[in-house]
Amino acid sequence: MIERETVAVTGFGPFRQFLENPSWKAAQGLKSAGLGNRIDVYIKEVPVTYVKTQKIIEELWRTVNPKFAVHLGVARGSSAVILEQTGKNSGYRDRDVCGFCPENHCCVEGGPEKLDSVINMRAVSKFFKQSGMDVIYSRDAGRYLCDFAYYLSLYHGQRKAVFIHVPSSGSLASADRLVPLLLTLIQTMLQQLEGPSETA
């Protein structure tokens, strides 16, 4: 019998003008499409609050303990998919939807200033860009809930996590264009995760 593995996918809840957040819609689309026979897709909606985000991300790694976590957030005003390499620990001064910001403006007291995903996002973005896809590499997830969730996941999940900003405008903003691209991106990342560099 084939052993099944879990990939966790999170999207954010309502935020400003997004009554239905495109990132959560994309997460639901990924769950419906699936990632093949060997992989269970676990999805979770994350409210745009620091306290709940922290609780959900910590619980995700403690109870679900996925092989890999994919966090989705919306990039306002962007028409491209943005692959984030790095999560940052400090500088969280913008208030969440409840009007709060984290104590000491950081994710983890005494944690490293920044953490990088085990996935080489530059290589992934380059591969897709060469195929004519609107995929961009970034090292700045924005020091808001996206960056906060990403850092916590990298910290608790031994860096086996990625953050993808999905577009809010343009042709890729439609779920039927976005979900197939996200599926291919995630499959490429999983191949990299299982690749020779893992044993090097």
Residues labelled as active-site residues: 84, 146, 165
Determine contact, residues 124/189, Cβ cutoff 8 Å: yes
Name the β-bridge partners of 170: none
Residues paired with 42 in a beta bridge = 8
Crossing angle (nearest 10°) for helices 175-194 and 121-130:
130
DSSP alpha helix (H) spans, the chain: 22-33, 50-59, 121-130, 145-156, 175-194
- Name 28's Cβ contacts closer than 8 Å, sequence gap at least 6: 11, 43
Strands 39-46 and 5-12: parallel
Q: Give the separation between CA 89 and CA 69, rounded to whole angstroms.
A: 18
105/94 Cα distance (integer angstroms): 9
